[in-house]
């Protein structure tokens, strides 16, 4: 026994990285085998064989992880942060294993899906734990951000091309890439009905792509890398600091964790609201209802617009389910505020509670912190309130005698108006068929799509703050003022310049994409093509129903448009255009005639 313990101590003290590398490649083989079994093999006899192989691999991973975790704890004689993930994963494996051989209260975990999830979690932990990607080389963070989206789209397309992803014919190469791009770029444009043509596996792939694409694959990789490895290297903190826009290195980890936890918290709350708003008679099982709620909570918070409802929210079973619409709309409105603003609300509430506790319970003075609710958060909330109110009221007035006739109550009218107006900003859900709304409303929806949501959020568009700064600059010029002032603050000229650059680049990109679509699909009408172009660039996902009928060339154009809209044209220019060195001299200033 002593010799075994000495051997394990030698291995985990001096060859720990080698053990991690071996487990990484073993888990990779297991994950590939699982994906082939779930998504590719359609022959029943062969599927039974691969299922036995996957189950055997699962128990093998369980054994390896348990031995590594226990041995590492025994060698160090204490539980470190790096051991937490191993303990959690081992506990998960143990629960699933016991449920498959016993039953009782934990029999729910005996299904194969929990086994597959265990293999996926194990692979993710080993992938995140490995230092293969970040410590051996260093990319420009902006380029890494762009490349990560491309890599995720390629992976998603490969998974969506698997035969068992669809219930009918497998997707073509172009269609698979289109769906993957739309999911990763949280757009929602679709060439097929995922509610009927996608299997549970295919819908789960789309949901995963929406979740990772909505937050950014680098955010997910960083979070799980920190969790599974127990820390960050200094180089990692520098890189993620630039990606997250965090200037303080000591705040990088907390910012990363905050973004993930905020997302999961609101998606969990939204999932509960959606779950209890549903009619149980519409689902064959409790699991189906839970998956439905989880899918729409993630799709809503990430402003993706994908739905697994046949015919969309316009379906008669959901068209007048106003509680469901309010639950989903609360998700995409909260998601549209941005992580920074949501976290700022948390700090504001926490500060207020601390102050009340100090005053009434502890009976002592509370030291108030200045600017708890930041200038940017106040400005973002104001802009969003203006757009939400104006959009909802405008839709109500424009459609009261048209599409809102079907809503029999004034409550229904306002819920539908709130849902449609704010979904148009980026979410892409529609409870009303867009082909039956009048032209002024269609113009308003296009405008809302282009304006978009808040910076730092999961939504798209040029962003409400960009449009607000541009309009305020026009007002300032008309009043003869040289600067923009709001909340007793002067807006930096750099922000004004950037806002007009973003607006101009968006118009140029939309125009170019629209012209190319007219060349590649000359038989399509111009209005649907323009609507499709703006929807793709703003990652909204609303459509007038022509997406599936577009040519392969048009789909490629829309894919590029979605990608540019999600990453940002200005971001791409910054990433690939070399910075100009600052000069030590300044030329004389001249005024241009307009």
- Give the dihedral sign, CA 201/205/208/214: negative
Place of tokens 């990779």: 28
List the beta bridge partners of residue 437. none
Who contacts 342 (Cβ-Cβ below 8 Å, separation ≥6)? 262, 266, 334
* The pLDDT of residue 132: 44
Cα distance from N-terminal residue to C-terminal residue, the chain: 88
* The pLDDT of residue 251: 59
Cβ 501 vs Cβ 489: under 8 Å: no
> Which pTM was predicted?
0.81
SS3 432: coil
* The pLDDT of residue 238: 52
SS3 263: helix
247 exposure class (CB count in 10 Å sphere: 0-12, 13-18, 19+): exposed
* The pLDDT of residue 253: 65
Who contacts 593 (Cβ-Cβ below 8 Å, separation ≥6)? none
pLDDT block averages, 10 residues each, the chain of length 594: 58 61 78 78 78 82 78 68 69 78 63 76 71 50 71 85 80 88 87 85 87 69 52 52 52 68 85 88 82 89 86 83 89 83 79 76 69 79 90 89 82 89 86 85 90 82 88 85 80 83 89 91 88 90 86 90 82 65 72 72
Cβ 188 vs Cβ 179: under 8 Å: no
Rounded-to-10 torsion of CA 181, 187, 192, 194:
100
In whole angstroms, give the CA distance from residue 52 to residue 40.
16
Q: Which long-range contacts (CB under 8 A, 24 or more apart) does 528-534 make?
A: 530/446, 531/442, 531/446, 532/189, 532/558, 533/558, 533/561, 534/446, 534/449, 534/450, 534/510
């Amino acid at each position: 026994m002593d010799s075994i313990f000495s051997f394990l101590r030698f291995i985990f003290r001096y060859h720990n990285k080698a053990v991690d590398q071996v487990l990484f490649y073993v888990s990779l083989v297991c994950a590939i085998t699982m994906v082939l079994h779930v998504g590719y093999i359609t022959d029943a006899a062969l599927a039974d064989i691969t299922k036995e192989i996957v189950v055997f691999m699962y128990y093998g991973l369980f054994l390896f992880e348990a031995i590594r975790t226990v041995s590492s704890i025994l060698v160090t004689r204490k539980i470190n942060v790096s051991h937490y993930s191993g303990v959690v994963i081992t506990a998960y494996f143990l629960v699933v294993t016991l449920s498959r051989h016993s039953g009782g209260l934990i029999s729910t975990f005996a299904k194969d899906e929990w086994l597959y999830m265990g293999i996926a979690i194990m692979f993710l932990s080993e992938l995140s734990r490995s230092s293969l990607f970040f410590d051996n080389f260093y990319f420009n963070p902006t380029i890494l951000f762009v490349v990560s989206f491309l890599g995720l789209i390629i992976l998603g397309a490969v998974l969506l091309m698997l035969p068992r992803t669809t219930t009918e014919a497998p997707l073509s190469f172009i269609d698979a890439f289109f769906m993957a791009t739309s999911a990763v770029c949280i757009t929602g444009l679709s060439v097929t009905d995922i509610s009927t043509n996608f299997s549970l596996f295919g819908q789960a792939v789309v949901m995963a792509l929406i979740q990772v694409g909505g937050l950014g694959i680098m955010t997910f990789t960083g979070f799980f890398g920190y969790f599974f490895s127990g820390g960050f290297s200094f180089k990692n903190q520098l890189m993620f600091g630039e990606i997250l826009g965090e200037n303080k290195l000591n705040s990088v980890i907390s910012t990363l964790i905050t973004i993930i936890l905020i997302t999961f918290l609101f998606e969990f709350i939204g999932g509960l609201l959606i779950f209890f708003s549903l009619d149980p008679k519409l689902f064959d099982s409790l699991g189906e209802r839970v998956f439905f709620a989880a899918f729409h909570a993630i799709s809503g918070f990430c402003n993706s617009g994908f739905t697994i409802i046949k015919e969309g929210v316009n379906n008669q079973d959901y068209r007048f389910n106003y509680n469901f619409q309010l639950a989903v709309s609360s998700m995409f409105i909260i998601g549209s505020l941005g992580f920074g603003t949501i976290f700022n609300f948390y700090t504001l509430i926490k500060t207020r509670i601390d102050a009340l506790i100090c005053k009434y319970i502890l009976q002592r003075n509370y030291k108030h912190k200045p600017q708890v609710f930041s200038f940017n958060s106040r400005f973002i909330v104001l802009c969003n309130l203006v757009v939400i109110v104006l959009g909802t009221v405008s839709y109500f007035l424009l459609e009261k005698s048209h599409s809102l006739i079907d809503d029999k109550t004034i409550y229904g009218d306002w819920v539908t108006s709130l849902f449609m107006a704010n979904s148009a900003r980026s979410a892409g859900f529609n409870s009303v068929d867009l082909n039956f709304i009048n032209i002024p409303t269609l113009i308003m929806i296009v405008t809302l799509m282009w304006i978009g949501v808040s910076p730092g959020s999961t939504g798209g568009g040029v962003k409400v703050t960009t449009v607000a700064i541009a309009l305020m600059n026009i007002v300032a010029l008309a009043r003869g003022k040289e600067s923009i002032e709001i909340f007793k603050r002067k807006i930096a000229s750099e922000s004004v310049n950037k806002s007009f650059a973003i607006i101009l680049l968006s118009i140029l990109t939309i125009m170019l994409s629209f012209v190319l679509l007219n060349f590649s699909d000359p038989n399509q009408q111009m209005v649907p093509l323009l609507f499709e172009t703006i929807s793709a660039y703003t990652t909204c996902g609303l459509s007038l129903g022509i997406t599936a009928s577009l040519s392969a060339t048009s789909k490629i154009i829309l894919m590029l448009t979605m990608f540019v809209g999600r990453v940002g044209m200005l971001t791409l220019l910054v990433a690939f255009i070399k910075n100009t060195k600052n000069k030590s001299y300044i030329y004389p200033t001249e005024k241009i005639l307009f």
